[in-house]
Copies of this chain bind each other. A is one copy, B any other.
Amino acid sequence: MSELDLQQYAVRTDLALEAKEEAERPGGAIPGITSQVDEQDGIRITRLAVDSEQGAAAIGKMIGHYVTLEVPELRTQDTVLQNRVTEQFAREFEAFLSRVGISPEAKVLIVGLGNWNVTPDALGPLVVENVMITRHFFELMPDKVAPGYRPVSAVAPGVLGTTGIESSEIVHGIVGQSKPDLIIAIDALASKALERVNTTIQIADTGIHPGSGIGNKRIGITREIMGVPTIAIGVPTVVYASTIVNGCIDMMARHFERHEGNTGPIMGMLPELPETERLQLVKEVLQPIGHDLLVTPKEVDQFIEDMANIIASGLNAALHGAVDPSNAGAYTH
């Protein structure tokens, strides 16, 4: 798989889960990819590992661990469900930290990537605004910090267009001064599927890579660049118009197969085209006239705020032993 292809995948989905679904052929597991799925009370958790270069090439994602929480009902804005997702995310994140070898005392820098002024890109800054900040207490009055807390700091570095500086460079500078043991980077992602928008959270130990996220970073935020382990938390908040169309053609084909036994005369050759080729076709049609926009559901303001609260409360519970997952929300604003 050439670099160009990788880039194309990156543009279409930032979710390892979707990249795997796309690469899968019926009946066949992908060498170098292991995955396990748990589903309970409307929350589906997929733990996926890309174990080898072969697996990485097959799905266009870096070697590493990826955990995905999918909660289709999140869009109903049910606060009881939101609290359950917060607790589950906290447990999953805490387990992820210990699985990738982060100590419970590790000093954490939370980085909220994205642009305050573009709602679907504001997830990161919103999380930063809502997490508990404790590092300054450890610095200024270490004797007075209650047990069960660790030093947590947080910054929202802005985006290249509004600062003139790569967010990666800004984070690098802050890491050099504040010396965290772990970076947790929050970012808004692009998905292939409208139903995953604002209903899915991905945790990955691969950091943030160039070209990923809505803002299309040009330099990554990774362990290699920053010198400390970097965990990425992402939520898809946008979809390309072309992937909506492509996905719908698929669904139409399945619809006709179910109802008529075949798609034959109605849909012509469309269902048989390989997915990437068909997507290419759709893009060829949409792009020249400016239709291949990144789109987002109209209720994006409330969805983003809910997601930021879930992640901030979940991080508070996962990072501080003294914070109880069941009422972590009380610590956010």
Using a CB–CB cutoff of 8 Å, the interface residues on chain A facing chain B are: 72, 75, 79, 117-121, 129, 133-136, 151-158, 160-165, 169-170, 172-178, 193-195, 214, 237-239, 241-242, 244-245, 247-249, 251-252, 255, 263-270, 281-282, 284-286, 289-291, 293-302, 330
Docked CA distance A16–B172 (Å): 36
Check B118 against A299 for contact (C-beta < 8 Å).
yes
Q: Which of B164, B298, B330 contacts A121 (CB 8 A)?
A: B298
Q: Is the CB–CB distance between B251 and A285 below 8 Å?
A: yes
Give bound CA distance, A119 to B175, whole Å.
29
* Known contacts A214-B298, A293-B297; A165 and B152 CB within 8 A of each other: no
Given contacts A172-B177, A214-B298, A241-B248, 16 further A-B contacts (CB under 8 A): A117-B302, A133-B163, A133-B164, A136-B164, A136-B165, A152-B164, A169-B174, A173-B173, A237-B298, A245-B245, A245-B249, A251-B289, A252-B285, A266-B268, A293-B297, A296-B300
Task: Considering the complex, give the chain B residue whose CB is closest to the CB of A329.
Answer: B330
Q: When A164-B135, A300-B119 are in contact, do A282 and B158 touch as well, CB less than 8 Å? A: no
Cα A72 to Cα B170 in complex, Å, equals 36
The residue of chain B having its C-beta at the shortest distance from the C-beta of A330 within the complex is B79
18 contacts between A and B (CB under 8 A): A118-B302, A119-B301, A121-B298, A129-B162, A135-B165, A136-B160, A155-B157, A173-B177, A195-B289, A241-B248, A245-B248, A248-B282, A248-B291, A252-B281, A255-B284, A255-B285, A265-B269, A293-B297
Question: Shortest beta-carbon distance, A257 to chain B, in Å?
Answer: 12
